[in-house]
Structure 1
Amino acid sequence: MRRNLQNGERLRPIDLARGHGLSTQAIRNYEEAGILPAAGRTPHGYRTYTSLHEGALRAFLALVPGHGHQTATSIMRAVNQGAVDEVFRLIDESHAQLLEDRRTLQAVESALRDLDPTTAPEPAAVSGPGGTFIGPLAGKLGIRPATLRKWERAGLVSPRRDPQTGYRVYDEADVRDARLAHQLRRGGYLLEQIAPLIAQVRAAGGLEPLEAALFDWHGRLSARGRAMLTGAAELEAYLRERG
């Protein structure tokens, strides 16, 4: 909640903390991290804060939902050091990442549109001599072979083994599952969240289980975008107060 402070009014750490549901230790930690400007001191060495510190705290807390704790911290440090160009660079990077995440979501939806579960062959029918090996598939997805092996242990892909060489062979269904897993991982989903989705797609012969996940993904991206606007407003107010 925004406080109406008179010019020169001094605040104790507890005053800042209570207004935002924080502990006094959190306030001290934020100051030490450079999120807040350095506090003033009483003759007895106690910290004192002003409306400027409260503005910094509001800006930081508003930035976190849209940019994440680490980036929000870097933004506030740059502001307090007077490095305004660095502030804008960090914000631009966050917006670029959000745009990339939106494009990733579009890629997932595009990949799903290309899949026709009604014509997907049964596992026994696609386990013939064709397929791709782990190296080429990993290269195509831009990941390491070790990642594909990890996904296999998590049940996301189920490649067969070549009877002569023992190498993993990924058929068309495995490549599809790997693509979906890759896109969902980029969207922030955990392996334990992805595994049941892919299992349901295989068992049901349809992609309906992913619809709720994609809807949630859309919501989270929109929430981040809205949070960035809120953070920008508070940051602008803090920049104006700093002068």
Structure 2
Amino acid sequence: MYPRHEWRPLPAARGEVRLSPDMPALRTGSGDFLRLHDLPGSGRVLTFRYLLRVRRAALEREARMRSSRWPEGRRSILVLGRDRLSRALAAELARSGAEVRRDDRSGQAPWADAVVDVREAPQRPEADEPLGQLVSGGAVLLRGRREGGRMLIFPLAVDGSEATPDQVSRRRLAASPAAPELSSWLSSDRREPRPLSRATRTLTVARCLSVLEDWATDAPAVAEHRRLLRVIGDGLRERTHTVLGFDEPAPRPQGPGR
């Protein structure tokens, strides 16, 4: 047994407990300190029973916190894709308390409060149109695509007024000093010979999780997420660019044939 003045791990739970008479306390898995107002009697059995009570209280508190992170109506998250990045995203979302759903490859995606389409595949504009229809149905949409050794996370689509991946590409081409080369490279049918680095994948998962949690709790940062393109590269570096959506021009009328 640990001395009472030392911190000991809770059995089968995240957190540590200190049973010192002058300062009994619980340190939760999230790093919060909670004071304990009673102590067990002497003996291993009483101490073990007491620790089970503390463990139960800690788990109940953690469950309440998880629910507050993903309130009803913003808890169901559909994660598309089957690559390593998609699987890691789904696992972290589930661990944080979200209700994660996966596509069954039948073409009929289940309804969700938010849809996450962040994959290690290059962007394909023709694949974005069906996803854009989800926003009109009430779901928010977070998209991301690989570009060489880095990941692009597009603005969070809430009501369809945000910049689409196609609009982001056009803005990038308009601002690039190497627009012809960039256009040729983006439109090429390429396969990446190497897997995405672990650091880039980890930061991408963390960033997506923070964006979705901000949306779920209606945090002020959502306004920023709706207009930022995030570029995540090697070395745990992230660059952001403001990209605003715009109304597409009407088709030009066809003149008489010559």
State the TM bucket, normalised to the shorter chain.
under 0.3
Give TM-score, length-normalised by structure 2: 0.25
Q: Which has the higher strand share?
A: 2
Q: Which has the higher helix share?
A: 1
Higher relative contact order (CA 8 A, sep 6+): 1
Give TM-score, length-normalised by structure 1: 0.26
